Amino acid sequence: MQKYDIVIVGAGIAGLTAALYAARQRLSTLVVSADLGGQLLLTSEIQNFPGFMSISGLELIKKVEEQARAYGAQIVFDEVTGIEERDGVFLIKTATGNVFQADAVVLAFGKSPKEMGVPGEKEFKGRGVSYCVICDAPLYRGKTVALVGWGLHNYENVIRLRDYASKVYWVFPGEKPLDDEELLKEALSKGNVELVSNSAPVEVRGSKKVEALLVKDRRTGEVKTLQVDGVFVEMGYVTRTEFLKGFVELNENGEIIIDKECKTSRPGVFAAGDVAGMPHKQAVIAAGMGACAALSAYAYIMSKRGKKVSSTSDWRHLEIPGKKESKGLVLKIS
């Protein structure tokens, strides 16, 4: 079983920033994540991250990944399914059966798309069921798709989809998918979007790929079959913290409760980013919390090892392995 000073769960902007800070404190640092980038990959343009007038989510994430790896952080792709504490050491367990040990843990696994919870959904994930219009709409050029979701966010999604797909069924629970009449008119103006109102998805069907979405009329109970090549689920995001129940304290939304130092209710476990019960879910805030969690974890590890940490800042100018340094006081990474 491999042991690290710190294991960070999640490689979104919060987890990667935590990795950068932890690695710069010379902690052996492992990031375990289901994917690289998290929610930022869902946005083609970010205009409010300091230092960039405009940058794509992917580009931003790649820069932070490179920076974290440059200082020695390692990343493995796996889903964390459980965490235990045994004799003061944390055991981080994954879906593929890996177990990593660490003296401290940073939980930075953000939010995940809300699922429909209907038969066929899991089976056809990645084979016609998608949770990201921005990422996958171009794959459905000339095809028929269903969009399940409502609200302003889905106005943008339907506009994007109707420009690729030949037909879009827009499935939603109420009378209208949008309150704004003007925007709704605009969304329908191309003539290839059909509203499927008062409806709830009940099943995804297909053979190798998605072939149909079954929807139920909430008033009459009638079930209709929509012949589609793809189903886009855009119903918002949820925190998936069920596996942490009883391990750390959660709030009523399932978010991890932290204090101003990003400490959870369990010593040695810290949390950062959208998974934590803090307001303003924004990239720069998640990044800041990642830095805070890593520095707090560093102080925790040092005090556990009987070393006093006078201040947990990160002002040191470190030599980046493999890069030639030219200025300033340079400390070598051992």
Ligand X SMILES: Cc1cc2nc3c(=O)[nH]c(=O)nc-3n(C[C@H](O)[C@H](O)[C@H](O)COP(=O)(O)OP(=O)(O)OC[C@H]3O[C@@H](n4cnc5c(N)ncnc54)[C@H](O)[C@@H]3O)c2cc1C
Q: Which positions are catalytic?
A: 132, 135-136
In the complex with ligand X, the residue whose CB is nearer, 205 or 240, is: 240
CB atoms within 10 A of CB 318: 18
Q: How far is CA 94 from CA 22, 76, 101, 162, 284, in A?
A: 22, 11, 12, 39, 28
Residues 80-119 that bind ligand X (CB under 6 A): 80, 108-112
Least distance from ligand X to the Cβ atom of residue 239, Å: 9
Least distance from ligand X to the Cβ atom of residue 126, Å: 14
Query: How is residue 114 written in tokens?
Result: 């809300």
Q: Contact with ligand X (CB under 6 A): which of 8, 10, 170, 235?
A: 10
Q: Contact with ligand X (CB under 6 A): which of 8, 11, 27, 165?
A: 11
Least distance from ligand X to the Cβ atom of residue 155, Å: 13
Bridge partners (DSSP) listed for residue 82: 93
Q: Is 128 in the site for ligand X (CB under 6 A)?
A: no
Residue 213 gets which letter from DSSP? Answer: E
Phi-psi region of 301 (alpha: psi -120 to 50; beta: other; left: phi over 0): alpha
Q: Contact with ligand X (CB under 6 A): which of 8, 30, 32, 244?
A: 32
User: Cα 30 from chain centroid?
Assistant: 18
Cα–Cα distance for residue pair 258/249, rounded to 1 Å: 9
Enclosing H/E stretch for 297: helix 283-304
Q: Is 299 in the site for ligand X (CB under 6 A)?
A: no
DSSP string, 238-293: E---GGGTTTS-B-TTSPBP--TT-B-SSTTEEE-GGGBS-S---HHHHHHHHHHH
DSSP string, 309-325: -S-------BPPTTS--
Q: Contact with ligand X (CB under 6 A): which of 102, 146, 286, 293?
A: 286
HSE at residue 289, side-chain half, CA atoms within 13 A, is 34
Whether 90 contacts 105, CB under 8 Å: yes
In the complex with ligand X, the residue whose CB is nearer, 41 or 226, is: 41
Q: Is 9 in the site for ligand X (CB under 6 A)?
A: yes
In the complex with ligand X, the residue whose CB is nearer, 101 or 112, is: 112
Least distance from ligand X to the Cβ atom of residue 104, Å: 17
Whole-number CA gyration radius for the chain = 23
In the complex with ligand X, the residue whose CB is nearer, 134 or 214, is: 134
| Contacts with ligand X, 221-240, as mask; x by CB under 6 A | -------------------x
Of the candidate spans 118-126, 169-177, 282-290, 309-317, the one that interacts with ligand X by CB under 6 A turns out to be 282-290
| Contacts with ligand X, 33-72, as mask; x by CB under 6 A | xxx-xxxx-xx--x-x------------------------
Least distance from ligand X to the Cβ atom of residue 219, Å: 32
In the complex with ligand X, the residue whose CB is nearer, 215 or 289, is: 289
Residue 32 gets which letter from DSSP? Answer: E
Q: Contact with ligand X (CB under 6 A): which of 7, 13, 19, 187?
A: 13
Of the candidate spans 4-12, 176-184, 225-233, 298-306, the one that interacts with ligand X by CB under 6 A turns out to be 4-12
Helix (H, G, I), strand (E, B) or coil at 101: strand
Contacting residues toward ligand X, per CB under 6 A: 9-15, 32-35, 37-40, 42-43, 46, 48, 79-80, 108-112, 240, 273-274, 281-284, 286
